[in-house]
Amino acid sequence: MTLLSLLLSFDAYAQRYRNGVTELGLFVGASNYSGDIAPEIVWAESHPAIGLMYKYHHSKFFSSRYQFTYASISGSDQNFSANAYRNISFESNIYELGYNLEFNFKPFGINANQHEENKTTFVFAGFNMFMFNPVHRLSSGDKLELRDIGTEGQKVNDKRQYSLIQPSLTLGLGYKFNVKRRTVIGLEIGFRKTFTDYLDDTKGQYVDYNTIVAKQGVGAGDYSHTETLNNKKPITGGSMRGDPALKDWYFMVGLTISFRNVVGDPCSGL
C-alpha cells in the first residue's frame, strides 16, 4: 500500500508539474529553393510541403522537435533573361528527417496547469538528413533523372557521382499560440543550408558536347547541353555551367497545428 501511495503521489505530481509536456502535430505549407537556377527566389516555383512532428518541452523556453517532412522544389532558367540561353530546368522531391531545438521568447509549453503565456515568438535551429533526386520533365510529362545522365561529364570522365542523401542545417523563426490549452497553432519559416551544390544538378563546368554524344549518345548530349533543345549552338566545353562556390538552399514556410497531452489537474479536481 505504501508503494502504491508513493506511485500515485508521483503520478499526481507529474501531471501537475509536467502537464502538457509533449505535442504531436502536423506541418502544412510551401517549399522553395535558391541556387544556380534561382539566384533570386521565384515565388511562382513554390510547391506544397507537409510534415509530421513530435515535440518534447524541456522547460518553459526550450523544446526538442523531431520532424519528417515531404517537400518539392523546382527551377528554370526561363525565369531569368540572363540565363535563358542556358535553358536548364529541374524538379526534385525532398524527403527530410530532422531534429530542431526551439527557443521561446516567453514562457510556453512546459505545464498547462501553471501560469504560462498563451502565445510567443520563437526561433529554432537543427540538423537534417534529406533525400532528393533532380529530374527534367519532358514534354510528354515523363521525368528524366539527371544524375543518371551525368550532365557535367561524370560518366565521360569517370568522376564520382553526387550522393542523393545529404545533410543540412536548419535556421528558422515563428509565432505560436494556444487554443484552449490543448491545441497549439503556429506560423513559421525555416531555411535549410545544404552542403551540396547539386539540388538542381548544376555545379561546375560544361563538358564538350561532341565528347558526350560520342560516348553516351545524342540524348545525353542534349540534356547535358539543354540550350540545344531550343536549337541553340552548344556552349563551349570548359565554360561555367554553375558556381561551385555557392551551395544550394531550400526553405519551407507554413502553418503548424499540434495537440498537447494535457490532462486534468489532479489537485484541482479538473
| Domain ranges within the chain, ordered by starting residue | 20-149+164-198+246-260
Instruction: List CB contacts of 164: < 8 A, sequence separation 6 or more.
Output: 131, 132, 133, 147
Contact 86, 226 (CB under 8 A): yes
Q: How confident is the model at residue 17 (pLDDT cuts 50, 70, 90)?
A: very low
Q: How far apart are CA 8 and CA 75, in angstroms?
A: 59
Per-position DSSP letters for 230-256, written without gaps between them? GTPPPPPTTSBSS-TTS--EEEEEEEE
pTM score above 0.75: yes
- The CATH code belonging to domain 20-149+164-198+246-260 is 2.40.160.20
Q: pLDDT per residue over 89-116, tens digit each?
A: 999 999 999 999 999 999 887 665 556 6
Q: What is the pLDDT of residue 118?
A: 85
The answer, yes or no, to whether residue 174 has pLDDT greater than 70, is: yes
